[in-house]
Structure 1
Amino acid sequence: MHDAPGRRYHCATLRSHPELHAAAELYARVFDYDTPDLHLNTNLLSALVRNGGSAIGARTEDGELIGFAYGFAGRDREGSEFHYSQAAVVDPAHQSAGVGRLLKYAQRDVALGWGQRRMRWTFDPSLARNAHFNFNTLGAEGIGYEDDYYGRPGTDRIVVEWALDRHHDPYAAERALQPPAFEPDDWGRQVPAGDDAIWLPVPAEPGDSAVCRTVRAGLREIVTDGRVLVSCTRIDDRTAAHLAVRRLDEEEE
């Protein structure tokens, strides 16, 4: 059970058709998907639950479904295996109440139950708030950048990896660092941060397309050069800053 200010939630795996149908409807409504090709198939969700995947629902105390996350067993071209979290959605009326974290930790438990030690997912490079949640709240890292991830323009994504059974965070000190007082004129400019680390100031909220292209180019460069993103800190209402550091080989830790 999860406590949040004035509210109480719990998570569980969704198994019945009515549960999965409600989750698919919530997914389409929150993302404002109005075409069949973007809707979820409840048979597919049921198969995922039975075969290495996840379909997690978050409910209020009175049973209302207000959050949903799903994923599946994945494997990359290098042979690394992981749980791939395709999406997590929260009803707008219950956002900023800790439901997203609750869903991710419930999904983590499912993944570990399948023997999957890492989880991956992606997020839009223009969403600094999502970056902060992924890196600073969950303790995951941005490990890659994919152009047109969904096969259409405007779907660039940063690939995130979360070590599910990590006993200590090797990037804890870096995540706690506070960025300099960057301003909008600094957006997209790489700034050395010592020990081969780099700050990249970005807009705190999505905005001008030309700025977004500059920021995306900067993010693409720093995560394809042996670095990982470990933090994204909001400086003020206009500006946030990513921090990229050299990737550590945890097997040697």
Structure 2
Amino acid sequence: MSGVMSPANRGDARVNDLVLRELRSIEEFKDVFRLFDGIWRPNPDGAPVTVEMMRALSHAGNYVAGAYRYDRIVGASVGFLGMTGAERVLHSHITGALAGHGAGFALKTHQRAWALERGLERITWTYDPLVRRNAYFNLAKLGARPEEYLPSFYGTMSDGINTGDESDRVLAVWRLTAPHVLAAVRGEPHRPVIPADAVAGLGERNGRPVRGPTDASDAGTVLVAVPRDVEALRRAEPRAAREWRVAVREVLGDLLRDGARVTGFHDKSCYVVERPP
């Protein structure tokens, strides 16, 4: 499911009944602002990105794009150029989409094409490691990989999704020409192989996290579970949500810090982590 880029339309692409294009005007940026406001429900002083910032980023040659269905905006993405060591990358600051349109995947393929046209080989972004659907989308449907755990990355957040929780994030790295990424963007989600001797470093029982033997010397593969719906859990059982936050931070965070690699997301429920030999 990939769009065909049209140079005459300055980056416009069509994917099924979606039109994707880079945004240039204040009215377009206002559309994005309203879309994000409806998704994240931030406090008035806590918008994830402002109209003025989108204007500046776009004017400076960064990535600001929208997905439209029958002239209605249903998704948008804002990113900026950055450096990782000596390598230039696109950092995708925020992507939001209404459910049911396929706009999230379409925007990512559009973003990937935009980056490759500019000689970039990696896109990075951060996401909450506790949100199952985002983990599955990022790792399985796109083929990105979490490479760094970032505790309380944004400090205290007070929007309608994150209120009451710490803003831990993982840094996802999307290596745009890797074989498993090429397969993913063709519509073939990545399904990791789970060896028979894999251990549950973090499991779930009655909605609560249960820790396992991540330090076992013979455990080359560790599975790290996340809650079924952490956003609902924050509202209904904030204490349980807090337990999950701490457990994932300590188990997944420690594994990544010690050199382990996340290689996939299994059964839409747990990270697959390969420990170094």
**TM-score normalized by structure 1?**
0.80
SS at structure 2 position matched to 1:217 = helix
Please tell me the residue identity of whatever aligns with 1:196.
G
Q: 1:171 to 1:97 in 2, by over 3 A?
A: closer
The CA distance in 1 between the partners of 2:43 and 2:169, in whole Å, is 22
Q: Which of 70, 82, 89 is 1:74 aligned to?
A: 82
The within-5 A match list for 1:20-35 is 20-35=29-44
The CA distance in 2 between the partners of 1:227 and 1:68, in whole Å, is 33
* Cα-to-partner distance string for 1:184-225 (whole Å, 9 max, x where unaligned): 236443567978222112322213121331122111011112
SS at structure 1 position matched to 2:226 = strand
Question: Please, which runs of 5 or more residues in structure 1 have no aligned partner?
Answer: 248-253
Q: Tell me whether 1:100 sits opposite 2:104 in the alignment.
A: yes
Percent identity over paired residues: 24
* Cα-to-partner distance string for 1:91-137 (whole Å, 9 max, x where unaligned): 2xxx1442111111111122223322100001112112111111111
The residue aligned with 1:251 is none
The residue aligned with 1:214 is 247
The residue aligned with 1:86 is 93
* 1:25 CA drift (Å): 1.4
The residue aligned with 2:166 is 154
SS at structure 2 position matched to 1:130 = helix
SS at structure 1 position matched to 2:129 = coil
Question: Please, which runs of 5 or more residues in structure 2 have no aligned partner?
Answer: 1-13, 157-164, 234-239
The residue aligned with 1:46 is 55
The CA distance in 2 between the partners of 1:215 and 1:39, in whole Å, is 25
SS at structure 1 position matched to 2:24 = coil
Kept in 1, the 8 Å contact 2:77–2:95? The answer is: yes
Moved more, 41-50 or 110-119: 41-50
The CA distance in 2 between the partners of 1:227 and 1:96, in whole Å, is 35
The CA distance in 1 between the partners of 2:38 and 2:182, in whole Å, is 38
**TM-score normalized by structure 2?**
0.74
* Cα-to-partner distance string for 1:4-35 (whole Å, 9 max, x where unaligned): xxxx2221111111111111111122110132
